[in-house]
Amino acid sequence: MLSKVDFGDSQHLSELRIVLMGSRAAGKSSAGNSILGREEFDLKTSAQCVRRHGEVAERHITVIEAPGWWRNHTVEKSPELLKQEIVFSVSLCPPGPHAVLLIIRVDTGFKETERKAVQGHLDLLGERVWSHTIVLFTGGDSLSDTSIEQYIESEGQDLQRLLDKCGNRYHVLNNQNRSDDTQIKELLEKIEETVAQNNGCHFEIDRKILQEMKERRTVADERAKERMQRTKKQRDNIKSQMSDAQHRAEDCVNGV
């Protein structure tokens, strides 16, 4: 049962769990910092998921930042570790996130290559993820007098196709104006609307997908361990040979 807190005529969830997804340099870390209201996420690229917590607008917020992919790379080109981290990200806030925020910058073009990259990486989580996904546009300050709706229309069909998969759920964020907490409160309310649209349920990844990825990680870890052992053995052999050679040289010098 989801706990709720009364705010006048409306009710808000007392806890929200959020996962940030997107390409590298899309603004995931900045978005996470804006949501929590402080510098919790390092702006440097990380190869692993990062989890942070905070109290925002009378809610306990958990934010998971998944590592980003190269914006023009299809999922087939992404390294195995990245794909594993994306899948595991939704299991780091049990029992699962209330929403996946798909971060997209508004100051860069969004064409077919970006759409394929986004869809491929989110599809790792299964088809159900799309009903829990909200597109979060970052860099809203660059829009100037252009509305987000005008921007979406100007980008054409690729962006619209992506929004259609997300049930046309989106929000724009100006990370340069964190003093305005209205935009964060509105985002949290949109997340709660998304939860309501999903009959009060959070996103829960198919156990088969998670289990398969765990097995793949186990195999990869075992291979990495074997490589380290082989490397150590080779180094030990080289050290032994060098030591033997040194002893022989010393024996020659001593006339043995």
156-200 tens-digit pLDDT: 899 999 999 999 999 999 867 767 789 999 999 999 999 999 999
Q: Which residue has the higher pLDDT, 69 or 145?
A: 69
Extents of the domains making up the chain: 4-205, 206-256
Residue 84, beta-bridge partner list: none
Task: Check residue 251 and give its pLDDT.
Answer: 67
- Residue pair 20/64 in contact by the 8 Å Cβ criterion: yes
- Residue pair 108/72 in contact by the 8 Å Cβ criterion: no
CA distances to 82, 86, 183, 221, 229 from 224, in Å: 16, 20, 45, 5, 9
Report domain 4-205's class. Answer: alpha beta
Chain segment 212-236, per-residue pLDDT in tens: 888 877 887 777 777 778 887 788 7
Written as one string, the DSSP assignment of 50-87 is: EEEEEEETTEEEEEEEPPPBPTT--GGGS-HHHHHHHH
Task: Check residue 255 and give its pLDDT.
Answer: 64
Which of 43-57, 135-149, 221-235 comes out lowest in average pLDDT? 221-235
Mean pLDDT, the chain, as a whole number? 88
pLDDT for 152 beyond 80: yes
- Residue pair 58/52 in contact by the 8 Å Cβ criterion: no
- Percent of the chain, pLDDT > 90? 63
Question: Rounded to 5 degrees, what are φ and ψ at 172?
Answer: -110, 140
Give helix 157-165 / helix 112-122 axis angle, nearest 10°: 20
Range 238-249 average pLDDT: 75
Question: Rounded to 5 degrees, what are φ and ψ at 170?
Answer: -155, 160
- Which residues are CB-neighbours of 164 under 8 A, at least 6 positions away? none
202: confidence class by pLDDT, cuts 50, 70, 90 = very high
Chain segment 7-25, per-residue pLDDT in tens: 333 457 899 999 999 999 8
Q: What's the CA gap between 241 and 243, in Å, rounded?
A: 5
Order of all β-strands in the sheet with 170-172 = 50-56, 59-65, 15-22, 99-105, 133-138, 170-172
Range 23-52 average pLDDT: 91
pLDDT for 6 beyond 70: no
Structure tokens belonging to residue 86: 């994306």
Q: How far is CA 39 from the centre of its chain?
A: 17
Structure tokens belonging to residue 237: 């052999």
- Which residues are CB-neighbours of 30 under 8 A, at least 6 positions away? 41, 43, 138, 175
- pTM recorded for the entire structure: 0.82
Task: Check residue 1 and give its pLDDT.
Answer: 42
